[in-house]
Structure 1
């Protein structure tokens, strides 16, 4: 990189300080390394090659493992509080283990097997097809990269909103063991151990395991024998990684991980009086039949009171250096996940709308890459194969709709194949040009049975798409980098999640007693998938270290989406139906992040995001993007006190703001699905003795006990309000390194 200038112009300095004061947590490096170089740029692999974060021509944030520790970030949901235009919610089927990232308004609106995420999550290069039941405890982490905007060239399908890249620590020759323990209010009990050891000079391993428990927020008032409280959860997790250097040119890394969690249903409540013409109100139920405290639960169905999740996986990565300029990388992975969850939608002791649910998913993926340098040209090319089989079940012996049995049998197999290439060219010392293309073929075979007289309906479909990217990056003499990028992204079409409309078609085709009715429904191919979802993003921005004390990034983007599905949930006469509303959407906005060393001891991190979303009008109605806040911001000041005995006390505050949003595609105030804005505040005060191998911290999370909604759904019969499982927590954390 070019040497940064020492001084900014007065106007530029004023703008930088104003922007810094407005926002929050930057994800650029935040460690004071030396007096003449306080900020160290993180090296990332967002483009599947190592680059300094400032030189990557996309909007991205990166947290090092030390950043995560200093901010008290323990799971991926916390990351969503400190990245502009990133919002992570968790409400799938009332589960506590789900994490639904939304980047720039694109994400996962449901958890069933026929619904794909719009933001892809990778762990050490392995794509996670399902986002319920996975291990979201951020232990043994080298860094996290959040890539904003479509990433269809290098990360493939299901990244039309962006990608989250989690990189764990690889085994090396350093002998180190770390332990941590955390005890706090709300029944918090957390412990973990990590060790890295060398067996020989060519063989090393690391291993971590942990336990995390948090108490609930309410009680199941009609289930005195419930095993867990509302919102209570506990989980065991572990990960083993072994690295073997077979030769100077050949390296293998084998990894295995697993987690096992269970707890009580996530907090939610049901509003009945607000919809006086709804089915629940017409049945004589009122809000008085729902638990008076929204964090309690009045269900009498034990099957909807407990959730559980398990996941495990193995991966093998092999790297071979063909010569000094060419190398190959092979990644193989198998993963399995399962969950048990469900909601009692009516929220009362009366058995009307109860949906206990189970789900499984098994995936296998293979990727082969070839990387190289040819003079001023570097490239990454490869082939990719992915297969996933999964199912969701609501048993007609447990699930109830309107007091009668209902069922859901949903199965899908997905096979995806792709070939890609990305090339970079250093036109001059300061100007870099890059571009890439990816061809993807997807095939889905799905089946559903929501009503035995209709039987199981099968369907299959294929899609293909070419994604591309072109970019330029220029480094100025003062160290500032300008970039411009045109990116496209792709997501294969999706089958409906809960196709209870099929029963309605069955009625229309002749009713229960007509033996030809089911055949008519199947002949009409009623179980259909949507078309390709495509996105194109135009983006420009600046990023870099402007002085020894100040680094920043700012991005301006405009993204156009075609055939984007919004999920619409309604309570019909035959069941709780989820269908896809296909829209055209344009998103535009700005994102800013910074790190500013005000003094040697005082650091200010900031982030800020603004987004305007325009959805094309349909039949005189203008939808809105669901779960998409217009404004996001965070501010994180940190100050280190040096004591007379050379011990240090580091105090840090993190303020995170997420604007109001809508829980579904309608902004009609009569539907009452607006989710209010929220501001959460954390603090962490850490004491580290001089020359000691341990530190102790006093922490507080959501210290003002901001209670907020994760989502709201108006079914036409009732209003379902999914509450956040976040609440104030205070405690003590101890960490030691040996």
Structure 2
């Protein structure tokens, strides 16, 4: 395994991490002195990361987990919020300027793009159903039992597109506990959010729950040259719902039918354009590929003075919309006391409308109104169980997706023709098995294999006629692990995990103007991760986990975009990458009333140089950190006042695979602070909170894309929000 090379900058950052972790370890020692004889205050979360139920400390994987109550306490309402508090996780949004997109990056792996020919490097699952698209999904986390973030390749159990990791979202299942709950939030920036959750048992064998809500927020800027724009820049409105029905005719047999849907509308995400004011820039000279541009020379003064305003003159790109719906059926059947089978069948659809005016001026130059859709069908059949000291998880998996993208179909310029048409059908099949064996009462070893076979058929048209291409891939993924429980209850583990992602066709193949053969997919993307870790409860008041990892990636495609004749061209720059680092999380009950939770991550990513080009991992901060503090005040009569403060840090990073700081690709570090003050009466069934999100009103970038003529600076839609949240059970 390669060794970690210590540069001066790296040494400085590691020193800071060491000091922070040493302080937390000293805190654990203090906790041990003060709480040896008390009952444990640490909530041991049970997770299903390995597709079987385990205590989180027993899983030989670097994993962060949030219970539903913890999500509510921390004010986490969507996937972007989760990305603020997990080490070496960064969740951004871009995707044609849509406000609903969520692009997770774990340990230097993610996806900058969203078009149908690209696949994410981090897989997201909801109740075992894979969500293959980042735009338009229902990211509201209001009826969640648990979220698990698995870091590192998860190719054996989670299959393709998990070379960076996996995010496992588990919703609350219908049960016999009657519950009616409603939450209303009102805040600055026009925040209005209402959510209701109902759970009831209808008969001894039938139960259901329902979650439905509406969420809206005002924008951050105006479309200064489109006076009749329906929405402001960054404005959002969304309605969503999820219904689950569980039928249990026998103790060992159940069927759960789940349906969900969401529908959103709003204004284009805030962004601005940095025009390259140099003699060779097309915007500067007003000439591209030997021909004058329609607008003539442009300057940065032509862009809106306020970066949160937008100077486009094209109404078609001011509005975004998204919708998604899904239906899934899960069957759990106990065959014997030690064997069980599980089947998950689902169908999902999603579509969106978005698009950018890249020049961000009133002139008609680079306008890309866009629509897209995807239909996904999946089926998984598992056989799991125990045979003496052996436990196993096995199954077969099938997934198919059909999707398309169109750019220009909603515009009136360029004759109204499409600038880009993409259609792709993909089919994925897999078979997997993972077996564990208890060598002793304290030592468990495990190994797994997964064989994947994938095929993609694509049709691309960039205005010169349709070109077709097809390719297929297969891969055998594996993992090996050992987990040992020490006498003090701590668990130490070591693992080797591999991951796999099928090849990808270019997202915007405008190179077809020069060579039809450019519509060629990349090779298999493979990853191998070496990891050791320690996790568990130090004592009744303190728990922690630490992991050290080294991951090697081969044939990893970076999306590189440039201006090309006819459109915005995106090609795959295929690299080899090594990521290594350390992650730490800990929870400490300082007193019965005062709790601290901390998370620190460091990653060093090295990408092989390609000729004169030295790529970098995009959207990957070297240091990630979070600290949360909760204090509960006991009031007279049994009422309780809970104060919470959360801090999140993400280090500086590059917005795209280029480190050319002279081209403005570097994104500054950012610090966010959230606060919450909640009052709950002693005998009441309600609570009220005063909350603050992004208290210091930190404005930060989500991404930067350098095309050669200009840089797209994609801004976060985050801003300070102060409000009141009321929750009642009835």
Contact kept in structure 1, 2:156 and 2:432, CA below 8 Å: yes
* Cα distance in 1, alignment partners of residues 187 and 419 from structure 2: 41
Equivalent residue in structure 1 for 2:109, among 106, 122, 125: 106
Quote the offset at 1:14 in angstroms.
10
Contact kept in structure 1, 2:370 and 2:410, CA below 8 Å: no
* Cα distance in 1, alignment partners of residues 437 and 409 from structure 2: 60
CA shift in 2, pair 1:286/1:14, >3 Å: closer
* Cα distance in 2, alignment partners of residues 21 and 66 from structure 1: 28
- Confirm whether residue 116 of structure 1 aligns to residue 108 of structure 2: no
Quote the offset at 1:285 in angstroms.
1.2
Aligned residue number for residue 456 of structure 2: 444
Q: Secondary structure at the match of 2:257?
A: strand
Alignment of 1:274-313 (within 5 A): 274-283=277-286, 284-313=297-326
Quote the offset at 1:526 in angstroms.
2.9
Quote the offset at 1:245 in angstroms.
0.5
Quote the offset at 1:248 in angstroms.
2.1
Q: Which has the higher contact order (CA 8 A, sep 6+)?
A: 1
Quote the offset at 1:275 in angstroms.
4.4
CA shift in 2, pair 1:287/1:596, >3 Å: same
Quote the offset at 1:21 in angstroms.
9.2
Equivalent residue in structure 2 for 1:18, among 10, 18, 23: 23
**Deviations 1:142-181 (Å, cap 9, x if unpaired)?**
0000000000000000000000000000000111111000
**Deviations 1:685-727 (Å, cap 9, x if unpaired)?**
0011112111100000001000011011111111110000000
Alignment of 1:38-49 (within 5 A): 38-49=41-52
Equivalent residue in structure 2 for 1:527, among 519, 523, 530: 519
* Cα distance in 1, alignment partners of residues 278 and 705 from structure 2: 12
Aligned residue number for residue 141 of structure 1: 144
Q: Secondary structure at the match of 1:635?
A: strand
* Cα distance in 2, alignment partners of residues 397 and 710 from structure 1: 26
* Cα distance in 2, alignment partners of residues 490 and 733 from structure 1: 43
**Deviations 1:526-546 (Å, cap 9, x if unpaired)?**
310000000000000000001
Quote the offset at 1:653 in angstroms.
0.6
* Cα distance in 1, alignment partners of residues 712 and 471 from structure 2: 33
Q: Where in structure 1 are there 5+ consecutive unaligned residues?
A: 1-12, 24-31, 506-520
Contact kept in structure 2, 1:564 and 1:582, CA below 8 Å: yes
Aligned residue number for residue 186 of structure 1: 189
- Confirm whether residue 475 of structure 1 aligns to residue 478 of structure 2: no
CA shift in 2, pair 1:227/1:35, >3 Å: farther
**Deviations 1:353-412 (Å, cap 9, x if unpaired)?**
0000000000000000000100110101000000000000013672768x9966100000
Aligned residue number for residue 422 of structure 2: 410
* Cα distance in 1, alignment partners of residues 311 and 344 from structure 2: 48
Q: Secondary structure at the match of 1:246?
A: strand
* Cα distance in 2, alignment partners of residues 720 and 22 from structure 1: 45
Aligned residue number for residue 59 of structure 1: 62
Aligned residue number for residue 201 of structure 1: 204
* Cα distance in 2, alignment partners of residues 612 and 200 from structure 1: 55
* Cα distance in 1, alignment partners of residues 264 and 74 from structure 2: 25
* Cα distance in 2, alignment partners of residues 699 and 275 from structure 1: 47
* Cα distance in 2, alignment partners of residues 22 and 569 from structure 1: 48
Q: Secondary structure at the match of 1:343?
A: strand
Aligned residue number for residue 358 of structure 1: 371
Aligned residue number for residue 215 of structure 2: 212
Aligned residue number for residue 497 of structure 2: 487
Aligned residue number for residue 516 of structure 1: none
Equivalent residue in structure 2 for 1:689, among 681, 695, 701: 681
CA shift in 2, pair 1:555/1:409, >3 Å: same
**Deviations 1:12-48 (Å, cap 9, x if unpaired)?**
x99866146999xxxxxxxx9x951201210000000
* Cα distance in 1, alignment partners of residues 321 and 478 from structure 2: 40
Equivalent residue in structure 2 for 1:587, among 568, 579, 584: 579
Contact kept in structure 1, 2:438 and 2:444, CA below 8 Å: yes
* Cα distance in 2, alignment partners of residues 734 and 545 from structure 1: 35
Q: Secondary structure at the match of 2:513?
A: helix
Quote the offset at 1:125 in angstroms.
0.2
Q: Where in structure 2 are there 5+ consecutive unaligned residues?
A: 1-17, 29-34, 287-296
Aligned residue number for residue 13 of structure 2: none
CA shift in 2, pair 1:400/1:709, >3 Å: farther
Q: Secondary structure at the match of 1:92?
A: coil
* Cα distance in 2, alignment partners of residues 716 and 636 from structure 1: 42
Equivalent residue in structure 1 for 2:706, among 705, 708, 714: 714
* Cα distance in 1, alignment partners of residues 409 and 539 from structure 2: 65
* Cα distance in 2, alignment partners of residues 14 and 151 from structure 1: 31
Contact kept in structure 1, 2:410 and 2:416, CA below 8 Å: no
Contact kept in structure 2, 1:493 and 1:531, CA below 8 Å: yes
**Deviations 1:625-652 (Å, cap 9, x if unpaired)?**
1111100001111111111222111101
- Confirm whether residue 431 of structure 1 aligns to residue 436 of structure 2: no
Q: How many residues align?
A: 696
* Cα distance in 2, alignment partners of residues 500 and 223 from structure 1: 30
Quote the offset at 1:559 in angstroms.
0.1
Aligned residue number for residue 374 of structure 1: 387
Alignment of 1:224-623 (within 5 A): 224-283=227-286, 284-395=297-408, 398=411, 407-452=419-464, 455-505=465-515, 521=516, 525-623=517-615
* Cα distance in 2, alignment partners of residues 265 and 276 from structure 1: 31
CA shift in 2, pair 1:404/1:660, >3 Å: farther
Contact kept in structure 2, 1:559 and 1:588, CA below 8 Å: yes
Q: Secondary structure at the match of 2:353?
A: strand
Q: Secondary structure at the match of 1:704?
A: coil
What TM-score results when the alignment is normalised by the length of structure 1? 0.92
* Cα distance in 2, alignment partners of residues 274 and 574 from structure 1: 22
Runs (4+) off by over 3 Å: 13-17, 19-23, 273-276, 403-406
Q: Secondary structure at the match of 1:144?
A: strand
Aligned residue number for residue 3 of structure 2: none
* Cα distance in 2, alignment partners of residues 399 and 424 from structure 1: 61
* Cα distance in 2, alignment partners of residues 471 and 205 from structure 1: 39
* Cα distance in 2, alignment partners of residues 499 and 437 from structure 1: 35
Contact kept in structure 1, 2:155 and 2:499, CA below 8 Å: yes
CA shift in 2, pair 1:400/1:722, >3 Å: farther
Aligned residue number for residue 153 of structure 2: 150
Q: Secondary structure at the match of 2:535?
A: strand
- Confirm whether residue 222 of structure 1 aligns to residue 225 of structure 2: yes
Aligned residue number for residue 513 of structure 1: none
Contact kept in structure 2, 1:192 and 1:211, CA below 8 Å: yes
Aligned residue number for residue 518 of structure 1: none
**Deviations 1:203-249 (Å, cap 9, x if unpaired)?**
00000100000110000001111110000001000000000002222
Aligned residue number for residue 292 of structure 2: none
CA RMSD of aligned residues (A): 1.8
* Cα distance in 1, alignment partners of residues 534 and 356 from structure 2: 46
CA shift in 2, pair 1:43/1:405, >3 Å: same
* Cα distance in 2, alignment partners of residues 689 and 535 from structure 1: 52
CA shift in 2, pair 1:479/1:530, >3 Å: same
Contact kept in structure 2, 1:628 and 1:661, CA below 8 Å: yes
